Amino acid sequence: MKKLSVRRRHPLAALVVLLFALAATGGLYAAFAPAKTAQADSSSQSIAIEEGKKLYATGCSSCHGPGGQGSTDGPSLVGVGAAAVDFQVGTGRMPAQQPGAQVPKKQPIYTQAQIDQLAAYIASLGPGPGIPSKKQYDPKGGDIAAGGELFRTNCAQCHNFAGEGGALTDGKYAPSLRGVDPKHIYEAMLTGPQQMPTFPDTTMPEKAKRDIIAYVNDTTRADNPNPGGFSLGRLGPVTEGLFGWIFGLGALIATAVWVAARTAKARKS
Amino acid sequence: MSSQDTPEENLPAEPPHGTDAEIAPSDALVPDPGLPPHLPRRQDIDERAAKRSERAVAGLFTLSMLATIGFIAGFVAIDVDKIIYVWPIGHISALNFTLGCTLGIALFAIGAGAVHWARTLMSDEEVVDERHPIEAPPEVRQRVIQDFRKGAGESQFGRRKLIRNTMFGALALVPLSGVVLLRDLGPLPGDKLRHTLWAKGKLLINQNTNEPMKPSDITVGSLTFAKPDGLEETAEDFQEQIAKAALMIVRLEPEDIKDKRELEWGHEGIVAFSKICTHVGCPISLYEQQTHHVLCPCHQSTFDLADGARVIFGPAGHALPQLRISVNSDGYLEALGDFTEPVGPSFWERG
C-alpha cells in the first residue's frame, strides 16, 4: 500500500487510474452485456421495462419527453397503453419521420421483440389498453354479415364502405384497410390513433370488433370477387363515371376517327 | 261586317317583296369548283373484291347472330353466383362477363357490318340536290291572307267583343284545374320536419349493442351512435325515423368545450349532436377526435363539436342541432326533450 501511496503523485498516476477505470467498466459491461440474450429467455417483466426504457430514451424521448409526459412535439404517452404502442410502432407510424398533417404508415424499424419492450415500458407509465390476444382479433371467429352492418354504422363514413380509405380535412385522411394486420385493426379501434375516434369495449364489445375485423378481412382480401368487373378503387360512381366518359367515349371517338380517316378508294390520293 | 274590323296584329306579317332576286346567285367571287371526279373503289372494279366484302359483311352479321344466341345460352346456363378469374380484371361474375361480352359483340358486329357494307359496296357517288326556297310562292301567300281575313270577318270575332273576352277568360281558367290537381301528389309534410322521436326521458340506445349507455361507458375521444329507446330496426318506419333522430355521441374534456350552452346541455363533457348535416342532409360522422371537427363527406361542410357544432367551413347554413341529455335515476343517459330546432337542411318555413 505504501508503494502505491508514494507513487500517487507520479505524472502517470492519473493515466493509470483512468486505464483501471476503463478496464473495470469494460469488464463489467462484458459481464453484463450477454444479459441481452439472457433476457430473451427470461420473460421477466421488469427487464422488458428496463430495455423498453432504453429504447424509448433513444428513439422516442425527443418528442414525447424523457418520462413520456409529452412535449410540444408529441402527446403524453401516460395511460395510452401497450396496444397504442404496438399499433403505432408496429405499423411503422412511430417513430415519425417528419411533422405534418398526418403520420403515414411505413416499414416498421423495430423488431416485434423491441416493440413489446417499448410497450411494456409505456404500459408501466399508467394503466391503458393492453395488446389484444389472438383469440380477440382472429377474423375466423367473426360474423362477416354482422361485421358489415357494424362497419357501415361506425367505420364506413371515413374508411369507405369497402375499407378503401378516404379524405378528411386539411390533408388528413383515413387510410386504406387493405392488408392491415387484424391485430392492428383491433388496436386502432381500441386506442383511436391520430384523428380516429376510439371505440372502447364499453360501447363496442369485443365480439363486435371481431365481427368488424372479419368483414374487413373478407372485403379487402385480394381474391374477393368483384361481380361487376373492374373495381376501379371501389370509390363508387365518381371513378366509374370518369372511366366511362374518358375511356368509353374516347374509344368510340377514336374508332369513328379511324373509320373516317381511311379511304376506301382503290387508288390512294 | 268588313275586314277593316280585324285588328292588324292578328294577321301574319306581310313579307317584303322581291327577296327571290337577292337570293339568286350573283357573280360569286369564288367560282364553284364543282364535285371532284369520282374515283372507283376496288370493289367497283374487281368483282372478286366485292364478293370478299359481301362475305365479310355477312360474316359480321352472322357473328352478331351467334353472339346473341350465346347471350341467351349464357343467361340460361350460367349460375348467378359463379365467380371466375379473368386476367387482367380479376375475380368476377361469370354471368356478368358472358352477358357483357356476348351483347357487346352482338351490337358491335351489327355496327361494323353496316359500316363495312356502306363503305365498300353501297354507291359512293356524290350527288347534288339543289335546295328549294322554304317560302311559298306569292300568289299562295296572297290567297291564305285573304282567306284568313275573310274567316275572321265572318266569325264576327272582332265585332262581338263580349264573345272574344269571355272566350279568353274561359281558356285562361281551364288550366287552373290541372294546377289544383297537383295538390293531390301527396300529403303535406305538416310539422313532421320539426319533430323527431326524441322526447323527455327517452333513453339513448347504443346502435352497436342495442343497450342503454352509462356515462362511464363513453370515454374521451370515443364516437358512438345512438337511437331513441323503442325504435327497433325491424320497425316499418325505422328508416324514416332514424333519418331524423340519428345521434352521434362524443365525449370531450369539459374544459375543451368553448360553448357554454353546449357544456350545459351535455353531461360531464358527453355531448349529443344530430348526425344529419344541415346543408342537404347527408349523414355526417367523419369525426376527428383531436381537432373535434366533424366533416361532411358530401360537400365538405365542417363543424366544430367543441364550439356548439359551429360551421367552420363549407356550405352548411347553421350549426348541428344539439340534443339536451342527462342521466336518469338508474344512471343511464337519457334525453331531456326533443331537439329544439328542426334537424337537417333548411326549408322554406323553417324560420
Q: What distance in Å separates the CA atoms of residue A173 and residue B27, rounded to the nearest whole number?
A: 72
On chain A, the residues whose CB falls within 8 A of the CB of B217 are 200, 202-203
Domain coverage including residue B102: 42-120
Q: Is residue A19 part of a domain?
A: no
User: Chain B, 19-58: which have a CB under 8 Å from a chain A CB?
Assistant: 39-45
Q: Tell me the CATH number at B330.
A: 2.102.10.10
Residue B178 lies in a domain: yes
**pLDDT for position A48:** 86
Q: Of A158, A200, A208, which is closest to B219 when you measure between CB atoms? A: A200
Work out whether strand B333-336 and strand B270-274 pair parallel, antiparallel, or are unpaired. unpaired
Across A237-262, average pLDDT: 91
Close Cβ partners of A75 (under 8 Å, ≥ 6 residues apart): A64
Same domain, B260 and B201: yes
Structural domain tally of chain A?
2
pLDDT grade for B35, boundaries at 50, 70 and 90: confident
Minimal C-alpha gap between A32 and chain B (Å):
44
Alpha-carbon gap, residue B281 to B301, rounded angstroms: 11
Whether residue B197 sits in one domain with residue B299: yes
> Which pLDDT score, from 0 to 100, does residue A229 have?
82
- From CA B106, how far away is CA B113, in angstroms rounded? 11
Q: Residue A71 falls within a domain, yes or no?
A: yes
Residue A12 corresponds to which amino acid?
Answer: L
Distance CA A140, CA A131 (A): 19
Q: Is A184 annotated as a binding residue?
A: no
Residues B315 and B197 reside in one and the same domain: yes
Provide mean pLDDT across the span B251-260.
Answer: 92
Name the residue among A262, A267, A260, A256 with its Cα closest to residue B36.
A267
Strand order from edge to edge, sheet including B333-336: B322-323, B270-274, B247-251, B223-228, B200-206, B333-336, B325-327
**A39 & A123 share domain:** yes
Same domain? For B222 and B313 the reply is yes
What's the pLDDT band for B125 if we cut at 50, 70, 90?
confident
- Enumerate residues 224 to 243 of chain A having a beta carbon within 8 A of any beta carbon in chain B: 224-231
Please list every residue in chain A whose beta carbon sits closer than 8 Å to the beta carbon of residue B224. 203-204
pLDDT digits (tens, 9 = 90+) for B158-182: 888 999 999 999 999 999 999 999 9
Q: Give B274's pLDDT tier (boundaries 50, 70, 90).
A: very high
pLDDT at A149 (0 to 100) = 92
* Inter-chain CB pairs, A–B, below 8 Å: 117
Taking the C-alpha atoms of residue B23 and residue A267, their distance in angstroms, rounded to an integer, is 40
Residue numbers of B between 226 and 285 with CB closer than 8 Å to A: 250, 283-285
Q: Are residues B198 and B286 in the same domain?
A: yes
What mean pLDDT do residues A168-189 have? 91
Distance to chain A for B194, nearest Cα, Å: 25
Which site among B288, B302, B304 would you substitute to test the A interface, given the most A Cβ atoms closer than 10 Å to its Cβ? B288
Same structural domain for residues B15 and B150? yes
Residue A268's pLDDT band, with cuts at 50, 70 and 90, is low
Distance, CA of B113 to CA of B118 (rounded, Å): 9
Which phi and psi angles does B127 have, rounded to 5°? -120, 155
Q: Is the ipTM of this complex over 0.85?
A: no
A159 known member of a binding site? yes
- Taking an 8 Å cut-off on Cβ atoms, the answer to whether B313 and A169 are in contact is yes
Please tell me the distance from the alpha carbon of residue A206 to that of residue A215, in angstroms, as a whole number: 14
Q: Please count the helices (runs of H) and the strands (runs of E) in chain B.
A: 8, 13
Q: Are residues B143 and B268 in the same domain?
A: no
Contact B90 A264 (CB under 8 A): no
Q: How confident is the model at residue A32 (pLDDT cuts 50, 70, 90)?
A: low
Could you tell me which chain A residue has the CA closest to the CA of B122?
A: A264
| Cα nearest neighbour of B88 on chain A | A230
- In this structure, what CATH number is given to the domain that contains residue A43? 1.10.760.10
Q: Are residues A104 and A139 in the same domain?
A: no
Domain count, chain B: 3
Structure confidence at residue B126 as a pLDDT band (50, 70, 90): confident
Find the mean pLDDT for residues B86-90: 85
A146 falls within a domain: yes
> Is A203 known to sit in a ligand binding site?
no
Q: Which residue of A has its CA nearest to B39?
A: A265
Summarize the confidence of residues A169-181 as an average pLDDT: 90
Domain end call among A105, A131, A157: A131
Range of the domain at A151: 132-223
CA B132-B34-B135 angle, to 5 degrees, is 10
pLDDT at A30: 67
Identify from B53, B80, B223, B300 which residue to disrupt to test chain A contact, counting A C-beta atoms within 10 A and taking the largest count: B223
Q: Closest-CA residue in chain A for B92?
A: A227
Model pTM score: 0.74
* Cβ within 8 Å, pair A197-B289: yes
Task: Establish if A204 touches chain B: CB-CB under 8 angstroms.
Answer: yes
Say whether both B177 and B267 belong to one domain.
no
CB-based contact, B169 to chain A, within 8 Å: no
A98 is in an annotated binding site: no
Alpha helices by DSSP H, B133-189: 138-154, 161-181
Rounded CA-CA distance A220/A239 in Å is: 18
According to the annotation, is A110 in a ligand binding site? no
pLDDT at residue B68 tops 90: yes
Does some domain include residue B329?
A: yes
